[in-house]
Amino acid sequence: MPEKILSTEYSEEMQQSYINYSMSVITARAVPDIRDGLKPVQRRVLYAMNTLGLNADKPHKKSARIVGDAMGKYHPHGDSSIYEALVVLAQDFKKGMALVDGHGNFGSIEGDGAAAMRYTEARLRKFTQEVYLKDLDKDVVDFVPNYDETDKEPAVLPVRVPNFLINGSEGIAVGMTTSTPPHNLGEVIDAFDLYIGNPDVTVRELMEKMPGPDFPTGGVVINRSELEEIYETGKGKIKIRGKAEFLPAKKRGEKDRIEITEIPYTMLGANIGKFLQDVADLAEKKVFPDISDISNQSGKQGIRIVIELKSGADGEKILSGLYKKTKLEDTFGVNMLAISGGRPEIMTLKRIFEESLKFQLEINQRKFRKLLEKESERKEIQEGLIRAVDVIDLIIEIIRGSKKPEQVKNCLVNGVTDDIRFKSEESKRQAAELHFTEIQAQAILDLRLQKLVGLEILALEKEHRETLEKIRTYKRLLSSETEMKAHIREELRAIREAYSLERRTEITDEEEGVFEEQPYVPVPVTFTMNKFGYVKVYDLSVYEKNKDAIREEAKTLFSCMSDSRVVIFTDTGMMHQLRLRDVPVSKPKDKGTPIDVLTNYDSSKEEALKIDCFEAIKDKLLLFVTKNAMIKQVEASEFDSVKKSIASTKLTDDDRLIYVGEIFGTETVLVSDKKTALRFRNEEISTLKKTSVGVRGMKLADGDHISAVYDYDPSARYVVKIGSKRVNLADLKLKKRDAKPEVIS
Residues marked active site are found at: 119
Q: Residues 46, 124: contact at Cβ < 8 Å?
A: yes
**Segments of 226-336 assigned E as strands:** 235-241, 243-247, 257-262, 291-296, 305-309, 329-335
CA distance 36 to 43: 9
Q: Residues 682, 710: contact at Cβ < 8 Å?
A: no
CA distance 157 to 37: 9
CA distance 528 to 580: 11
CA distance 664 to 493: 88
> Which of 644, 612, 643 lies closest to 529, judged by CA?
612
Conformation bin of residue 461: beta by default, left when phi > 0, alpha when psi is -120 to 50: alpha
Which residues, 6+ apart, have CB-to-CB distance to 582 below 8 Å? 285, 598
Query: Counting Cβ atoms within 10 Å, is residue 61 exposed (0-12), middle (13-18) or buried (19+)?
Result: middle
- The vertex-348 CA angle with 343 and 351, nearest 5°, equals 70
CA distance 222 to 240: 6
CA distance 328 to 68: 40
The 10 Å Cβ neighbour count of residue 41 is 23
CA distance 421 to 417: 8
Q: Residues 559, 526: contact at Cβ < 8 Å?
A: yes
3-state SS of 584-630?
CECCCCCCCEEHHHHCCCCCCCCCEEEEEEHHHHCCCEEEEEECCCE
**SS percent in the chain: helix, strand, coil, step 5:** 40, 25, 40
Q: Residues 565, 615: contact at Cβ < 8 Å?
A: yes
Q: How far apart are the first and last CA of the chain?
A: 86
Q: Do strands 100-103 and 121-124 pair parallel, antiparallel, or not at all (unpaired)?
A: antiparallel
- Considering only CA atoms, give the Rg of the chain: 42
Helix extents (H) in 448-560? 454-479, 481-499, 540-545, 547-553
3-state SS of 9-27?
CHHHHHHHHHHHHHHHHHH
CA distance 123 to 101: 5
CA distance 413 to 425: 19
Which residues, 6+ apart, have CB-to-CB distance to 429 below 8 Å? none
CA distance 78 to 65: 14
Q: Residues 138, 67: contact at Cβ < 8 Å?
A: no
Q: In what order do the strands lie in the sheet with 565-570?
A: 608-613, 565-570, 574-579, 645-647
